[in-house]
Amino acid sequence: MPQLNKLGTAVPGGQGANTAAASLSRLRTALTVFFALDGFLFAGWVVRIPAIKEQTGASASDLGLALLGVSGGAVITMMLTGRLCRRFGSHPVTVACGVLLSLSIALPAQTHSTLALGLVLLVFGVAYGGINVAMNSAAVDLVGAMRRPVMPSFHAAFSLGGMTGAGLGGLVAAQLPAPAHLLALTGIGLVVTAAAGPTLLRHPAPAPERSRDRSPEAPGNGPRPLPGTARKAVVLFGAIALCTAYGEGALAEWGTLHLQEDLHAHPGVAAAGYSLFALAMAVGRLSGTTLLERLGQTRTLVTGGSLAAAGMLLGALAPATWAALLGFAVTGLGLANIFPVAVARAGALAGPSGVAAASTLGYGGMLIGPPAIGFLADWLSLPVALTTVAMLAAAAALLGYSARNASTHGRT
């Protein structure tokens, strides 16, 4: 009877192949749940920021410094998480970070000073950065085993989870105080982790046959140094992730303000701008697997970056609200699959270390995007500042084309 080999792939033949396929399907479902949970919890926290600001009595500048705790904690812990994934496996680290994220989301609502808020947000950022590296590393392993470019579907789950978390948070904000809401999110997070976590803990990360010969971190051999060209490629993919995360951060913080102040849109219409952008990203990611199978990774990067650049030029410079909203939607469609593809290719080259490096650079882009836009808006104007999103999207397209010969599995 065919069996699974030590690397977790099936020896060709009926029952063994069916068992392997079922195992991969269960892993995919469990990972999808964790991606959705991550987006759901993060969005639930974001919608309560105004209430936390009022509770702590923080000024706008003090709140900005406290919020750096999330980004700072995430970026600092990402490289450490890569090492933890190599030592303990990406699946246990994902589950552990899911528990920590669920517990830490209740902490901000218990603070009454800006200093305390910054400290607990540092803990929240550590959990957020850790789960993102761990589950992306697990997803890279699964993509390799399935031999299908399904990475965008995981990021689509994150986007949909975020939309759900923001929507529910907005609905209950008037009825529930922030401490009760965030404590409820802790309960939901722990329940979901308890439901999906055992699947990850029971099944080790699958390793494709090719990894015995090509992976720099093959089981039993320990990490091996990457060739210089591979290290450069990982940095290149990290730069691509940075370009797209810059745009996501900029639109999250400044898109609504641009619609309301520069185009005089109704506050409700202006608030819908980011929702439209996020919805377009979710739709783009849901179709990402099909797109990658038809176009390949390089053409997906180039097409996405070019589309996002054109969309953001329209969104930033259009004189009418409807045209700006259309530009935001086109930008979301263009950016949708760039980050997932960049992280997947970095992970295929260097395992968890590659995921950590690309994620760190990517979230660095999300960290510098909003303040950079603010500085440029003061110096020039907000519409002109937002054109930097288009510039970096175009840069992502160029970098994606220059990385076309990078040695990763699958079609380029």
Question: How high is the pLDDT of residue 34?
Answer: 96
For residues 263 and 178, membership in a common domain is answered with: no
User: Per the domain annotation, does 390 fall within a domain?
Assistant: yes
User: Which CATH number is 47's domain given?
Assistant: 1.20.1250.20
User: Per the domain annotation, does 2 fall within a domain?
Assistant: no
For residues 265 and 381, membership in a common domain is answered with: yes
User: Per the domain annotation, does 4 fall within a domain?
Assistant: no
Boundaries of domain holding 41: 10-207
Closest CA to 288 of 157, 407, 132, 166: 157
Q: What is the pTM of this model?
A: 0.74
For residues 176 and 223, membership in a common domain is answered with: no
Domain boundary among 146, 178, 207: 207
User: Per the domain annotation, does 1 fall within a domain?
Assistant: no
CB within 8 A of 55, min separation 6: which ones?
109, 111, 112, 178
Give the per-residue SS3 of 181-228. Answer: HHHHHHHHHHHHHHHHHHHHHHCCCCCCCCHHHHCCCCCCCCCCCCCH
For residues 259 and 171, membership in a common domain is answered with: no
Domain boundary among 170, 188, 207: 207
Q: At residue 169, what are phi and psi to the nearest 5 degrees?
A: -60, -40
- Write the single-letter amino acid at 40: F
HSE-up (13 A, CA, CB side) for residue 80: 11
For residues 197 and 292, membership in a common domain is answered with: no
For residues 342 and 399, membership in a common domain is answered with: yes
Q: Quote the tokens at residue 298.
A: 């390089």
For residues 94 and 201, membership in a common domain is answered with: yes
Q: How far is CA 170 from CA 45, 164, 176, 243, 257, in A?
A: 11, 10, 10, 30, 19
For residues 164 and 32, membership in a common domain is answered with: yes
pLDDT in tens, the chain (412 residues): 444 444 444 444 555 566 777 788 888 999 999 999 998 998 888 778 778 888 888 776 677 778 778 878 887 888 788 889 888 999 999 999 999 999 999 999 999 898 999 999 999 999 998 998 899 889 888 888 888 778 888 888 988 888 888 778 877 877 889 899 999 999 999 999 999 999 999 887 776 544 433 444 443 334 445 556 667 888 889 899 999 888 887 887 678 778 878 888 876 677 667 778 888 888 898 888 888 888 888 899 999 999 999 999 999 999 999 999 999 999 999 999 898 888 888 887 877 777 778 878 887 777 677 677 877 887 888 899 899 999 999 999 999 998 777 644 444 4
Domain boundary among 160, 182, 207: 207
User: Per the domain annotation, does 134 fall within a domain?
Assistant: yes
Distance CA 205, CA 389 (A): 36
User: Per the domain annotation, does 91 fall within a domain?
Assistant: yes
- Give me the number of domains the chain comprises: 2
Angle at 98 between CA 224 and CA 280, to 5 degrees: 90
**Contact, 301 vs 292, CB < 8 A?**
no
For residues 262 and 141, membership in a common domain is answered with: no
Helix (H) or strand (E) holding 295: helix 288-295
User: Per the domain annotation, does 3 fall within a domain?
Assistant: no
